Amino acid sequence: MREAFSKKPKTTNFFKRLCATLSASLAILLFLAACTEIQATKAVISFATEDRPFGDSLKDTQAEISLKSDLFQLNHAYPVELVLLVSERRALVAGYLESQDEIDAVIAKIWESPYITKVYNHLEVLPQTSLLENSDDMMLAKLVTARLLLCEDLTSANYKTAVFDNVAYVLGLTASEDEAHLAINSIKKVAGLRKIISYITVIDDHFQVLKEI
C-alpha cells in the first residue's frame, strides 16, 4: 500500500516514475518495431492515417508540450506524476496530488492557455492508501496503444490515450458513433484495467457536435 505524500513529492518516487517512463518509452518503440515486421501491411496503413482528418493535431501537440512545461515550473515532479492529454483544444488531466490547493493550482494553470476551451479534471487528493505503486500503468498504456493501432476498422490517430492507476483515459474525435464504440470496446479487451473514462466527440459532416461518448 502507498502512504500519503509528504508536503513535497518524494525525490525517490519522482526518479522511480521517471525511470518507469523512460523504460516504457523504450518498450513501446521496441513493440512498434516488432509490429512493423510482423504486420508490415497493417503498419503502413495505420501510419498513413497520422494526418488526422479532423482538427489540427500539430497545435494540440504544441499546446500539450507547452502545458507540461508550465506544470514543470509549478513542480518538477508534475510532468512525471500526472497524466496530461490535449485533443481538439480539450485538455484532460489525471493523477494524485497532496491537497485541493495543489489541484486548483494545476487546473488554473491549464486554463491560462488561450488554446484550451475545455478541461476534464480527474485530479484527486492522494488517498491515505493507494494501489498506485502496484499498478503497471506503462505496460497497460502500451497495450491500449497497440489495441487501437492494430484495429483494422478505426483510425487510431484520431484518439489519444493514457493510463493512470489502472484507469484508461481516452480523448478522441470521430464522424462515426460505431467507430467510437469500437475504440472503447477494443480498449476493454486489455486485461488489468479497472475502468475506462472516455471523451470521444462524434461530429457530423459539418463539424457540428452530435454527442460525446
- For 16, the grid coordinates are 522511480
Q: Which long-range contacts (CB under 8 A, 24 or more apart) does 35-43 make?
A: 35/146, 35/149, 35/150, 39/150, 42/150, 42/152
Residue 169 lies in a domain: yes
Range of the domain at 126: 11-212
Residue 55 lies in a domain: yes
d(CA 200, CA 198): 6
Residue 5 lies in a domain: no
Encode the chain (213 residues) as per-residue pLDDT tens digits.
333 333 344 444 444 454 555 454 444 444 444 444 333 223 222 222 344 444 578 899 999 999 999 999 999 999 888 999 999 999 999 999 999 999 999 999 999 999 999 999 999 998 875 555 556 899 999 999 999 999 988 888 899 999 999 999 999 999 889 999 999 999 999 999 999 999 999 988 877 888 898
Q: Give the number of domains in the chain.
A: 1
Residue 1 lies in a domain: no
Question: Global pTM?
Answer: 0.72
Residue 157 lies in a domain: yes
Residue 16 lies in a domain: yes
Residue 63 lies in a domain: yes
Residue 2 lies in a domain: no
Under 8 Å between Cβ of 203 and 173: yes
